[in-house]
Structure 1
Amino acid sequence: MLRLISLAAAGLLLSGCFEKEAEFPAVDLHGRLVVDQEMTTSRQAQGIQGEYFKRVLSVNGQDMDFNAFVKQYCPDTNTRNEICIKAFRIKKIDDVSGATRFLPNGL
């Protein structure tokens, strides 16, 4: 009987240790692409022609920069949340040379 009570108490204590996952809004991670004027100007000063794009998402009816979304909703890089995993993969692609509308299948 003592073991059963100990096991139940340990279970209750451990259940308090787990963080609740952040509430994720319904969001299309592709968002829309807008010209990042600051980065475009910086790259043109280096002699690189063309425009540099950034991804903007619509979250709860408000525009949010993709990087701000990742910082707010996906702070843990070791998450198992499917939205965050896709967001990290898109971020890696976008960080190379700006946002692109051509993403691999599954993203």
Structure 2
Amino acid sequence: MTFSAQAPAEPIGAVDLMKALRAGVERAASPKETGGKASSFFGKTSATAKPSAKKRIRSAPKEDLSGLSKADLYKKAAAANLHGRSQMTRDDLVKALAAHL
């Protein structure tokens, strides 16, 4: 078997990846044909954009502690690791648990 050498193919121009990335980012940030405002890389429309509203976290409904016995209140206070619970009256336990929960 004989192999013949072929002439090397003409070199292909290498793609500059950073140049392509910059061009893509610029296209994404430029105003659209519809005339709308350009959005930046992070999706904000401008430096004077109105900040988004904070999401409210709903708290669990407060448990009605007034109907519980002192023993039940003490168990809840122990589970909540309230200090001084052994010296508290029933009303003190209700107040302390309500403040803690």
TM-score bucket (shorter structure): under 0.3
Bigger fraction of residues in helix:
1
Which structure has more RCO (C-alpha within 8 Å, separation ≥ 6)?
1
Structure 1 length as normaliser, TM-score? Answer: 0.27
Q: Which structure would you say has the larger Rg?
A: 2
Bigger fraction of residues in strand:
1
Structure 2 length as normaliser, TM-score? Answer: 0.27
